Structure 1
Amino acid sequence: MDYKAARDYLLSRPEAVEDFPFGPDAAVFKIKDKMFALLSTRRGVVSVNLKCDPDEAQALRDIFPGVLPGYHMNKKHWNTVLLDGSVPSYEIERMMDNSYGLVVKGLRKVEREALELAYGPDAVYR
């Protein structure tokens, strides 16, 4: 997966928006003003920071060499995934979906229910 494919996939999530609060080199993806991903390129390597269940976060780090503790993030709840080919695209998409779903679950009930009504629970919680 490359930068464009990752960006397109993140923006395909219901009501996801892209923002650049940290400057032009770090694309932040949000749902209802809550960040669920940060896509950037550092020293020529594309990476994406994704929210993750703490137990799963460590398991993914143990399985994939391209999954690291979240760079400049809470390392218990965030992973940095290198888009260098060491992690299969389908696994990166699954991690992106989980990150989005975790953030949606943390939204206020009225916001969460509006998303579920508009897009269906399968679209919101893949």
Structure 2
Amino acid sequence: MDGEALHEMAIRTAMGLPAVVETQPFSEGIFVYKVVGKMFVMTSELRGVPIVNLKCAPPHGAALVRDHEEISPGWHMNKQHWITLSPGDGIDETLVEDLVGNAYDLVVAGLPRAKRPIDPSRGAAAD
């Protein structure tokens, strides 16, 4: 997957989830996607190459970094809880969709129950 497609897929997937807002709190060209004020995805460029930072559970993130050349510990983020996707043949739409969805679910699960836009254990709207 090339860099433009990587950004497009991550953004489209993030914005399709409940209660997500796009912000630009840092600088031009860096977009942050939040649910109930909590960041779960960031798109930016590193030395001119489009990248996507995603929240990730530590064991899952470590396995992804080990198994995918295009995945590294989170750039400018807590390297235990964030990963960075770079363009390359090992990144496809399904992987990006899954990782964005997992990042969202991880953040939603950490929210107080009353603030959750969905129940992450059921994948349904919260009551």
Structure 2 runs not aligned, ≥5 long? none
Could you say which residue in structure 1 is the equivalent of 2:87?
A: 83
| Alpha-carbon offset, residue 122 of structure 1 | 2.2
Q: Does 1:29 align with 2:33?
A: yes
What secondary structure, in the 3-state scheme, does the structure 2 residue paired with 1:121 have?
Answer: coil
Matches within 5 A, 1:18-57: 18-57=22-61
CA positional deviation for 1:46: 1.2
Spell out structure 1 runs of 4+ moving beyond 4 A: none
Between the aligned partners of 1:42 and 1:122, the Cα distance in structure 2 is: 33
- The change in CA–CA distance for 1:24 and 1:123 in structure 2 (over 3 A counts) is farther
The structure 2 residue matched to 1:68, chosen from 59, 62, 72, is 72
With the length of structure 1 as denominator, give the TM-score of the two structures: 0.86
- Describe the superposition over 1:66-120 as per-residue Cα deviations: whole angstroms up to 9, x where unpaired: 00000011101100011334312201111111100000001111012xx237xx9
CA contact (8 A) 2:53 2:74 kept: yes
In 2, the alpha carbon distance for the partners of 1:25 and 1:39 equals 8
Higher helix share: 1
Quote the residue 1:121 is aligned against.
Answer: 122
In the comparison of the two structures, how many residue pairs are matched? 120
TM-score calculated relative to the size of structure 2: 0.86
